[in-house]
Amino acid sequence: MATPAYRDATRLQTSVLAAAEKRLLISMARRLPAWVTSDQLTLLGTLAMVGAGAGYWLSARYPWALLLVVACLGLNWFGDSLDGTLARVRDCQRPRYGYYVDHILDTVGALFVVAGLGLSGHMTPIVAAAVLAAYYMLSIEVFLAASVLKTFRMGFFGFGPTELRILLAIGTLSLFNHARVGIAGRTFLLFDVGGAIAAAGMALFFLVSAARNARALYREEPLIRAS
């Protein structure tokens, strides 16, 4: 049986804010009261993603719900980023459980957020579907690489989950005044443009990473022809 990815994989955090965020999270984890647990933070992060999706859906009728989305993105960062840090600071890690549950809930949370956008009128369903498909494809590639190459990449070209949350929050606030943008004489939904760029970017990251990892594995396991 292969060695589990969650135990051996090297975490590659190449995002712009990674170093500063790590210091902040460790400091926060050391100050949390003893009754706060990693499971509670994980649940908070998941519920916040559900809340963000609901906020987008509600914003079709109640624009103020966009503020709920931004608040939920902040809560998601707090819960999702801090749960693992808290476990490491307290030396009470559960590698298999944490790895599995955290990423299963991340995929569920992404579904709620993108579905909420697709139902909100701020993003057309076809673009929402493309974003979700690209996200899942990239996630699968990252998880497979963690398993076979023991490298768990948490960012691409300076962008990681935290940077994406910030961009999403900025875009959400922009909907109050700039729900549409003009490009080449045509008008498009702001989140259709952003979603198309995000989907294309994730698809590009998927292709580059998959090609690089396949080449690395081919070199490690070259084809040996029978003589």
Under CATH, domain 5-220 is a member of which superfamily? CDP-alcohol phosphotransferase transmembrane (TM) domain (1.20.120.1760)
Count the neighbouring beta carbons within 10 Å of the beta carbon of residue 73.
Answer: 22
Query: What's residue 11's pLDDT?
Result: 67
- Quick one: tokens of 17? 């804010």
Q: Quick check: pTM over 0.75?
A: yes
The per-residue pLDDT for 5 is: 43
Domain ranges of the chain: 5-220
Asked if pLDDT for residue 6 goes beyond 80, the answer is no
- Condensed to tens digits (0 to 9), the pLDDT of residues 69-122 reads 999 999 999 998 898 889 889 888 888 888 889 889 999 999 999 999 999 999
pLDDT surpasses 70 at 9: no
Digit-coded pLDDT (tens) for 136-189? 999 999 888 888 887 777 767 777 888 889 999 999 999 999 888 988 889 999
